[in-house]
Amino acid sequence: MTSARPESSSRWCIVVADAAGPDWPVSDDIDAKWAPVQYCGLGEPTTMLQKALHRAGRISHSARVMVTAAEVHRSHWQHALWFMPAEHRFVSESPGWSLLTTAAAVLSIAARTPSALITILPARCCVADESTVTLALHRALLERRFLAEGILTLGIIGFGVDEDYLVLRVPDDRPTVAVAFTAQRPTEWVAHDIVRRGGVVATGIYIATANALASLLYRYWPILTDKILRHLKHSHVPGVENRIAPALAQEALRAASRPFWDRPTWLSLRAVRVANCGWSGLHSMRAIEQIDSPQPNPLHLRCTELEYERLKHEHTN
């Protein structure tokens, strides 16, 4: 049976679950083990990774979802990926290589369907209003004029704790705004100034065609990209996970050590501005604590204030 949707417009999602981040208890038990925060529920039964997989399923068929992960954390992610074909998992021997595993996933899609649309979703994030993010993703994927402008990212309007920010160029008559640069976790007063000048919170969500992303990798990592493709060609076996060999990681280190004047310009981004949806990139313990700590009930606070005013009135009289 053939799909009703032509392969040229297929959508793929890559959920990045091996990005570095703070560790957090996996449950509320006093003796609970600690793990990267994307494998924690933060007071809820569903982990951040599981929520990211649900997010991916809203914009892409489950058969077109891939995940990057680190072998050392297998006990935390394997049960969440029971439904996923093993060949859709890209596993590194050690944590900290999310860029490398993500590149391998992108190239594997580009090799079979260059015109496919790829959405890269971080697992290490928390979203209060999923519908706002889902609508923004669908809009970006459906509006061809957005994708014609190159690589897109979502930027959240507002301020967050210990977030990265997209500093935007002057808006033009297009529906997206060019990104000048990314400010990585600026101090609070600088962050407020960036937001005041029109900056947005960086989500780490990227949308582009497979061909555009592969071209970017070839421009920035030409030798490494070629090696990744050869590795995937010779190591790919249906029903077996894609393993990122240590030799590729060493080559990535050499590629990253190139002096800045010898590198091509890094990716040219345009941002889709998204309404505040309670986004957090969970970059720090402080950001996690703000979400994991129980929030006071506004009605309870109001009752407390009224009781205080009553007692104060009785005391003065």
Q: How far apart are CA 72 and CA 18, in angstroms?
A: 10
Domains of the chain are: 7-316 (3.90.550.10)
Q: How far apart are CA 106 and CA 213, in angstroms?
A: 7
Q: Could you read off the pLDDT of 58-78 as tens digits, one per residue?
A: 999 999 999 999 999 999 999
The vertex-208 CA angle with 184 and 67, nearest 5°, equals: 75
* 213-221 LR contacts (CB < 8 Å, sep 24+): 213/106, 213/110, 213/118, 213/151, 214/106, 214/107, 214/110, 214/114, 216/151, 216/267, 217/103, 217/106, 217/107, 219/264, 220/255, 220/263, 220/264, 220/266, 221/103, 221/252, 221/255
Secondary structure, 3-state, 125-139: CECCCHHHHHHHHHH
Q: Could you read off the pLDDT of 103-139 as tens digits, one per residue?
A: 999 999 999 999 999 999 999 999 999 999 999 999 9
Which one-letter DSSP state was computed for residue 115?
Answer: T
Q: How far apart are CA 113 and CA 312, in angstroms?
A: 71
4-8, 261-265, 306-310 — which is least confidently predicted? 4-8
Given a cut of 90, whether residue 140 has pLDDT beyond it is: yes
Q: Could you read off the pLDDT of 155-195 as tens digits, one per residue?
A: 999 999 999 999 999 988 888 999 999 999 999 999 999 99
- The angle that helices 98-112 and 222-235 make with each other, rounded to 10 degrees, is 70
pTM score, whole prediction: 0.86
